[in-house]
C-alpha cells in the first residue's frame, strides 16, 4: 500500500513537469473507489496550476477547481510525453499539453475526484478530518503531546488513526516508536512531554528519510510502478520478529493491534 513517503515521492516526480499544462482530455477506465464527480469533458481546457499533497491525497490544482487523487491499495501514477494505449489496469488518463498523467490501479481502491474547491463538500468529505502534516511546520511537539493526553488508546493505534497527525502508516509507526523507545501498547495519554518530544522527532525523521531514499531511487518516473521508498530503509523492528534488536540484541517481538502487526523490542521500548 502506498504510504505518505511514496505519495510525496510520486508528487515530486511529476509536479514540476505538469505545472502549467492545459488539459486536452480525461479518459476513464473501469470505476474506481468513488466517481469522478463531473463529466470528464468538463476538464478539457483547464490549466494545471500545481500539485500539492495532503495526507495521502494528491491535490491537482486547476485554474478552476481541483482534482483529488488517492492511490488506494495498489495505485501508481506515471507521467510521460507518450504512453502506450491504456491497459486493463489503467483507469484514469489525464491527457495534457505537457504529457499524460496515468493512474494504474489493479485493485481499484484508488480514486480521482473533482471538487470545485478545497472547501467544497466533495473535498471536505475526504480532507476534512485529517490531522496535521507530519513534515509540515504545523506539527508541533507540545500540541502533539496535548492531543495524546486526550487519548487512552494504545499509542500505535492513535498514530495509525491519522486524526492527530496524518500519514504515519503501519511500518513507520513501528519504526518511530522504536526510535523513541516507547512501547506500542502504551496508552497515548500516559506519554510524558519529554517522550512525546522524542516521538515527534522520530516520526519526522522516519518519514523524511523514507522520502529522501524514495526520491533518490525514482529518477525515471516512467519506471516508478511498484517501487516503494520504504523498501530502501533498513527497518529496526518492522517485519523482524524473533530477529535480534539492532541496538541490544534482544529478540524483536511481534504482536497484533487492531488487526495490524506491530513489532517492538521488549528491552529498548518501555
Ligand atoms: Zn533493543
User: How far does the centroid of ligand 1 lie from the alpha carbon of residue 12, in Å?
Assistant: 35
Active site residue 184: no
Question: pTM, whole model, 2 decimals?
Answer: 0.88
User: How far does the centroid of ligand 1 lie from the alpha carbon of residue 157, in Å?
Assistant: 21
Q: What is the mean pLDDT of the chain?
A: 92
| Catalytic position from the list 11, 46, 53, 56 | 56
User: How far does the centroid of ligand 1 lie from the alpha carbon of residue 241, in Å?
Assistant: 12
pLDDT tens-place string over residues 22-45:
999 999 999 999 999 999 999 999
| Catalytic position from the list 2, 5, 134, 154 | 2
Active site residue 2: yes
pLDDT tens-place string over residues 133-189:
999 999 999 999 999 999 999 999 999 999 999 989 998 999 999 999 999 999 999
pLDDT at 87 over 50: yes
Active site residue 267: no
Can you list the alpha helix ranges (DSSP code H) found in 167-230? Answer: 170-180, 193-217
Residue that has been written with the C-alpha cell 505519495 in this structure = 7
User: How far does the centroid of ligand 1 lie from the alpha carbon of residue 143, in Å?
Assistant: 29
CA distance 148 to 189: 5
Task: With H, G, I as helix, E, B as strand and everything else as coil, classify residue 255.
Answer: strand
User: How far does the centroid of ligand 1 lie from the alpha carbon of residue 179, in Å?
Assistant: 10
Among residues 26, 16, 40, which one has the least CA distance to residue 98?
16
User: How far does the centroid of ligand 1 lie from the alpha carbon of residue 250, in Å?
Assistant: 6
Residue 34 in contact with residue 28, Cβ under 8 Å? no
CA distance 38 to 30: 16
Active site residue 106: no
Task: With H, G, I as helix, E, B as strand and everything else as coil, classify residue 104.
Answer: strand
Residue 4 in contact with residue 169, Cβ under 8 Å? yes
Q: What is the pLDDT of residue 191?
A: 98
- Percentage of residues in the chain having pLDDT higher than 70: 93
Residue 94 in contact with residue 167, Cβ under 8 Å? no
CA distance 31 to 50: 25
Q: What is the mean pLDDT of residues 240-257?
A: 97
| Catalytic position from the list 151, 204, 209, 260 | 260
Task: With H, G, I as helix, E, B as strand and everything else as coil, classify residue 264.
Answer: strand
pLDDT tens-place string over residues 198-244:
999 999 999 998 888 875 544 333 334 444 444 456 789 999 999 99
CA distance 108 to 67: 17
Among residues 148, 118, 142, 145, which one has the least CA distance to residue 54?
118
Helices (H) and strands (E) in the chain, counts: 6, 10
Among residues 71, 70, 46, 68, which one has the least CA distance to residue 115?
68
Among residues 170, 159, 258, 152, which one has the least CA distance to residue 200?
159
| Catalytic position from the list 3, 6, 8, 175 | 3
Q: What is the pLDDT of residue 229?
A: 44
Q: What is the pLDDT of residue 216?
A: 53
Task: With H, G, I as helix, E, B as strand and everything else as coil, classify residue 257.
Answer: strand
Q: Which three cell numbers stand for residue 74?
A: 495498489
Distance separating the N- and C-terminal Cα atoms of the chain: 29
Kindly report the number of other CB atoms within 10 A of residue 163's CB atom.
12
pLDDT tens-place string over residues 7-17:
999 999 999 99
pLDDT tens-place string over residues 108-143:
999 999 999 999 999 999 999 899 999 999 999 999
User: How far does the centroid of ligand 1 lie from the alpha carbon of residue 264, in Å?
Assistant: 8
Residue that has been written with the C-alpha cell 463538500 in this structure = 121
Q: What is the pLDDT of residue 212?
A: 85
Amino acid at each position: 500500500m502506498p504510504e505518505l513517503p511514496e505519495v510525496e515521492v510520486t508528487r515530486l516526480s511529476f509536479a514540476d513537469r505538469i505545472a502549467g499544462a492545459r488539459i486536452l482530455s480525461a479518459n476513464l477506465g473501469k470505476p474506481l473507489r468513488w466517481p469522478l464527480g463531473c463529466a470528464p469533458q468538463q476538464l478539457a481546457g483547464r490549466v494545471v496550476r500545481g500539485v500539492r499533497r495532503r495526507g495521502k491525497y494528491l491535490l491537482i490544482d486547476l485554474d478552476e477547481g481541483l482534482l483529488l487523487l488517492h492511490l488506494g491499495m495498489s495505485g501508481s501514477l506515471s507521467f510521460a510525453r507518450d504512453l502506450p494505449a491504456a491497459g486493463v489496469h489503467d483507469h484514469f488518463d489525464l491527457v495534457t499539453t505537457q504529457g499524460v498523467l496515468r493512474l494504474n490501479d489493479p485493485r481499484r481502491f484508488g480514486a480521482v475526484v473533482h471538487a470545485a474547491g478545497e472547501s467544497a463538500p466533495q473535498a471536505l468529505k475526504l480532507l476534512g478530518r485529517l490531522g496535521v502534516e507530519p513534515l509540515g511546520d504545523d506539527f508541533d511537539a507540545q500540541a502533539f503531546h496535548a492531543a495524546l493526553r486526550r487519548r487512552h488508546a494504545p499509542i500505535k493505534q492513535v498514530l495509525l488513526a491519522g486524526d492527530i497527525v496524518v500519514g504515519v502508516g503501519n511500518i513507520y509507526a513501528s519504526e518511530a516508536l522504536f526510535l523513541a523507545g516507547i512501547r506500542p501498547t502504551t496508552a497515548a495519554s500516559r506519554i510524558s512531554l519529554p517522550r512525546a518530544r522524542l516521538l515527534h522527532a522520530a516520526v519526522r525523521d522516519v518519514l523524511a528519510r523514507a522520502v529522501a531514499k524514495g526520491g533518490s531511487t525514482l529518477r525515471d518516473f516512467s519506471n516508478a510502478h511498484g517501487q516503494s521508498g520504504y523498501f530502501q530503509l533498513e527497518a529496526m523492528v518492522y517485519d523482524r520478529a524473533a530477529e535480534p534488536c539492532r541496538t541490544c540484541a534482544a529478540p524483536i517481538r511481534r504482536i497484533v493491534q487492531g488487526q495490524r502487526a506491530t513489532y517492538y523490542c521488549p528491552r529498548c521500548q518501555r
